[in-house]
Chain A
Amino acid sequence: MLNMFTHARRMAGRALVGAAALALAGGGVASAQETIKVGVLHSLSGTMAISETTLKDTVLFMVQEQNAAGGVLGKKLEAVVVDPASNWPLFAEKARELIAKEKVAVVFGCWTSVSRKSVLPVFKELNSILFYPVQYEGEESERNVFYTGAAPNQQAIPAVDYLMANEDVERWVLAGTDYVYPRTTNKILEAYLKSKGVKEEDIMINYTPFGHSDWQTIVADIKKFGSAGKKTAVVSTINGDANVPFYKELGNQGIKATDIPVVAFSVGEEELAGIDTKPLLGHLAAWNYFQSVDVPENADFIKKWQAYTKNDKRVTNDPMEATVIGFNMWVKAVEKAGTTDADAVIDALIGITVPNLSGGFSAMMPNHHITKPVLIGEIKEDGQFDIVEQTPGLIVAEEWSPYLEGSKDLIADWRKPLNCGNFNVKTGKCGGAGQ
């Protein structure tokens, strides 16, 4: 901390010198060699602070735990926190700062797809490691990125299967915020549902902008769509801020989970903490972890987390678990490689297995995604989830969806000799589906 502070003062002093170029030159050459720096790249202000702040705290918590357990390779870890302020170009700038200036060994960060896309070139260019902890649309596998959140087949498809099997749903509303995750997920789901014999007219797709707050018309449409005599469900990929008014409107118009259940992929314990959950009783969410998972590992984690945050009501959620898994995997890989050198750690990470918080183990696969169980939960009155279904085994991520035209022939395998994120099994070439 002291080191950072003096450094900051030095920078401030220089800023006053006229030519900023000269002032910025050669910042931070000498610093203590005794720590390993860990970058934290989560928005602490702006629209995404609502979700990302918790993940920053999670990484800080994990760093503290790890240091208490003796650090890594005999060195203490030091977290370097920056605030990219929900501003996508700033994400790229801050990533560069973390890697090039702060010389961090690894970065935990990003939430939205666009922030990941924004920093991707930076991680490739400077050859560093990013752990990305949020469920996303897939269709990506990069050498420098490790995806510890769910790919669509680790969340969306099991949820739909559950509704078909347990609620006899025949008619589907795919409602999402208009950005790449819902678009892709819905494309995959649409293809999947059709392959299961659902007719075109039994699928309604609807997109709304970010932060959409007036849901009257759309909820009325859903109600109308659901009154055609067939059991109807809503698959919601509605993002963050728009969820609260959406659920409030569902409650207002009297749609209960026993009528038209809504299964959401972006609503977790953290989001529910801000909603009056009584009208939401029985609506569903699909994740790879719930706070209500009843295993000793989880109880232990929750206890330590609440002690760390000094708040016995502080909830845990799925992206937090993904962060924890990623962090533990990185620690294990560094110890295996005996160095924090990016290339060595990237190679060491594949095959690393660590306990997850739902009582099993998650492994880093050659496609840089991890294996996960899928859990379906129904919202309870206390804002927690009642786990109504859990896949019997672990699911391997399909980073390239077989249900999408452009990616059905692609696979990713970062082991030698393939060493490729988009290998085309038809043409036998690395580099996508191009002719």
Chain B
Amino acid sequence: MTSSARLFRLARVLCSALALLLAAALVQRAEAQDISAALSQLTTNKYDDTEAALGALALSGSPAAAGIVSALADGKLVFGGLPPRVFIEGPGGALLDPLTMQPAADAPAVKPVRVNNRVRRAIEAANGALSLVSPDAGKRREAALAVGRSRDEAALPALEMALAKESDPKVKSAMNLARASILIAKEGITPAERIAAVELVGAEGNQDALAILRSVPESAAPEVKQAAAVAIEGIERNLAMWGMAQNVWYGLSLGSVLLLAAIGLAITFGVMGVINMAHGEMVMLGAYTTFVVQEVIRTSYPGLFDASLLIAIPLAFLFTGLIGVLIERTVIRFLYGRALETLLATWGISLILQQAIRTIFGPTNREVGAPSWMSGSFEIGHLSITSGRLWIIVFALLVFFALLATLRLTRIGLEMRAVTQNRRMAASMGIRTNWVDAMTFGLGSGIAGIAGVALSQIDNVSPNLGQSYIIDSFLVVVFGGVGNLWGTLVGAMTLGVANKLLEPYAGAVLGKIALLVIVILFIQKRPRGLFALKGRSIET
């Protein structure tokens, strides 16, 4: 969805632009004069003047106008010299004359024409006004929507004129809707006309329609008010349902983040029984691996940026896996059978890793960018879905099932299960338990590392990254049931959705508190989590 606020602004300019265009069609052009005045206005480098100049450019009809506007948008419009003149900065920094696009005779010192939000909106409006004569139906439709949002009565004649000429059905319906939006609040129209407008707007069924319907004037006939009330009620009911669905989606998205954070822990803690307080730091190392990969790509192979995450995933897995194996070989292996002491040692390791990263990369956040395929959002019905979040859900599930398959279907997975279930028996069957231990811990750490790649997309990449996930991760694993991967999946998703369903009512903080209390109570009911392991080893 294009946001209303921008459209609203755009619409104001467009309305005046439309009216002026109509006038301009009658009066013959005098643009040569106009455009040079506009250009000199650009050299004052004041936002007000720049905005005014853009308006003039939009209406000038000069063939050079579009080029100048887009140069301004790209920061390529510069000015300088005495008296100050405007240039377009061409490739390689050459100064071009904005009207002829020929290299300028002299090359004075130049500064770019500055742009702020207001000017940026004026640029959009100017682009819009200029494109109104363009054959692009999408742009015409956007303009119509903007007029509708503005509900500016002054635009009505222009809109009706454009409507008469329009042939594209999509654009036409947008224009009709815009017209209805204006008519709803207009004085001096018949109740029947107004009711028709109410129905047309009501059929839209979204948030904007609500706002428009609420603008029915007090003086309107009772049957109009009645019709508006019915339409409002219907939309609200409908939106409440979509709102619920939206919350569930947010919940799933949060759940997938929890799943990613917890899934490595489900191995090191859930399967191996190591209370791994350094788990969060493995996630952090994964995120820093992503940072390093992107740094290298930025400096050496900028073309590969969109693939940076795909490159980072295996590297993060290998790197954190290696660190995991190292930790297992030097510390953890001496502590098997003493689960609570692993807490201590891994806590110490987590402090060391945090400080190491702080020493190497500095204490501040590092920048990890989003590849283009993870940016943006789209809508299904009234459900708004952001691509980044969607990819994270998909990724979390992929990791989960890959891990499940590894444990179920591969030889090393079988050995891992054997060793954790009965170490001595496994050893006497010829399994190298030491090696399997190291591999299992490495696997859990590696998975945490690739979780870090994903989390770098939505959170800070700082030495504290891991700390913010460690509590939630343990909670998820315990809630789901230690030693059961499915439990971790269901636990993460349940907690995520429950959190997001509570949030609108209780607020972010109270919702979280309520959830913690619920988990505490739930553990009373099922002391071994959602999916308790059955068997005689229950009382260890």
Contacts and interface: CB of A to CB of B under 8 A. Distances in A.
**Chains A and B share a contact (CB less than 8 Å):** yes
A226 interface: yes
A258 B121 contact: yes
B388 A254 contact: no
A254 B9 CA distance: 17
B458 A260 contact: no
A226 B208 CA distance: 10
Nearest to A241: B460
Determine which residue in A207, A252, A278, A388 has the highest number of CB atoms from chain B within 10 A of its CB, and name it.
A252
Nearest to A315: B364
A273 B124 contact: no
Interface in B481-507: 499-500, 503-504, 507
A275 B367 contact: yes
Contacts of A229: 4, 8, 149, 151, 211
B254 interface: yes
Contact of A251 (B362, B375, B460): B375
Interface stretch (B166-174, B268-276, B409-417, B461-469): B461-469
Interface string A259-286: 1110000000011011110110010100
B368 A213 contact: no
Task: Describe B's contact surface by its main secondary structure.
Answer: helix
B365 A274 contact: yes
Contacts of B531: none
B366 A274 contact: yes
A208 B366 CA distance: 23
A255 interface: yes
Question: Size band of the B side of the interface?
Answer: 35 or more
A260 B365 contact: no
Nearest to B512: A209
Given A224-B207, A229-B211, A50 B4 contact: no
Contacts of B124: 258
A6 to B, nearest CB: 26
Interface string B191-209: 0000000000000000110
A214 B254 contact: yes
B118 A167 contact: yes
B5 A226 contact: yes
B114 A386 contact: yes
B5 A232 contact: yes
B356 to A, nearest CB: 12
Interface string A55-96: 000000000000000000000000000000000000000000
Interface stretch (B155-163, B245-253, B309-317, B326-334): B245-253
Contacts of A270: 364
A253 B377 contact: yes
B358 A378 contact: no
A273 B120 CA distance: 24
A227 B6 contact: no
A241 B388 contact: no
Interface in A212-259: 212-214, 216-218, 220, 223-224, 226-229, 231-232, 241, 244-245, 248-249, 251-259
B355 A45 contact: yes
Contacts of B369: 276, 278
A174 B468 CA distance: 25
Determine which residue in B1, B376, B462 has the highest number of CB atoms from chain A within 10 A of its CB, and name it.
B462
B207 A252 contact: no
A186 B121 CA distance: 28
Contacts of B458: 213, 245, 248-249
Contact of B117 (A226, A279, A282): A282
A402 interface: no
B508 interface: yes
A178 B509 contact: yes
Contact of A227 (B208, B368, B463, B468): B208
Contacts of A275: 365, 367
Determine which residue in B47, B458, B468, B509 has the highest number of CB atoms from chain A within 10 A of its CB, and name it.
B458
Contact of B3 (A213, A223, A249, A284): A223
Contacts of A249: 458
B504 A217 contact: yes
A224 B376 CA distance: 18
B134 interface: no
Interface in B88-142: 114-118, 120-121, 124
Contacts of A273: 364-365, 367
Question: Size band of the A side of the interface?
Answer: 35 or more
Given A178-B509, A214-B257, A167 B362 contact: no
Interface in B335-367: 354-355, 358, 362-367
Given A166-B118, A220-B246, A227-B4, A248 B253 contact: no
Given A252-B388, A275-B365, A245 B460 contact: yes
Contacts of B117: 167, 257-258, 261, 282, 284, 378
Nearest to A255: B3
A217 B250 contact: yes
A255 B3 CA distance: 7
A53 B3 contact: no
A432 interface: no
Interface in A16-73: 44-47, 49-50, 53-54
B440 interface: no
A53 B457 CA distance: 25
Contacts of A49: 358, 363, 463
B384 interface: yes
A278 to B, nearest CB: 8
Contacts of A44: 363
Contacts of B509: 178, 207-209
Contact of A274 (B120, B358, B460): B460
A351 interface: no
A227 B3 contact: yes
A61 to B, nearest CB: 16
Given A213-B459, A255-B3, A275-B365, 14 more contacts: A44-B363, A214-B250, A216-B250, A217-B504, A220-B250, A241-B460, A248-B370, A248-B388, A251-B375, A259-B3, A271-B365, A278-B369, A378-B116, A386-B114
27 contacts: A53-B362, A54-B364, A167-B117, A213-B458, A214-B499, A216-B250, A217-B504, A220-B250, A226-B4, A231-B5, A241-B464, A244-B460, A248-B388, A248-B458, A248-B459, A249-B458, A251-B375, A256-B6, A258-B9, A259-B5, A260-B3, A271-B365, A273-B364, A274-B364, A274-B460, A386-B115, A388-B116
Nearest 9 interchain pairs by C-beta: A274-B365, A259-B3, A276-B369, A49-B363, A252-B386, A216-B250, A259-B5, A244-B460, A259-B6
Interface of A: 44-47, 49-50, 53-54, 166-167, 178, 207-209, 211-214, 216-218, 220, 223-224, 226-229, 231-232, 241, 244-245, 248-249, 251-261, 270-271, 273-276, 278-279, 282, 284, 378, 386, 388
Interface of B: 1, 3-6, 8-9, 47, 114-118, 120-121, 124, 149, 151, 207-208, 211, 246-247, 250, 253-254, 257, 354-355, 358, 362-370, 375-377, 384, 386-389, 457-464, 467-468, 499-500, 503-504, 507-509, 512
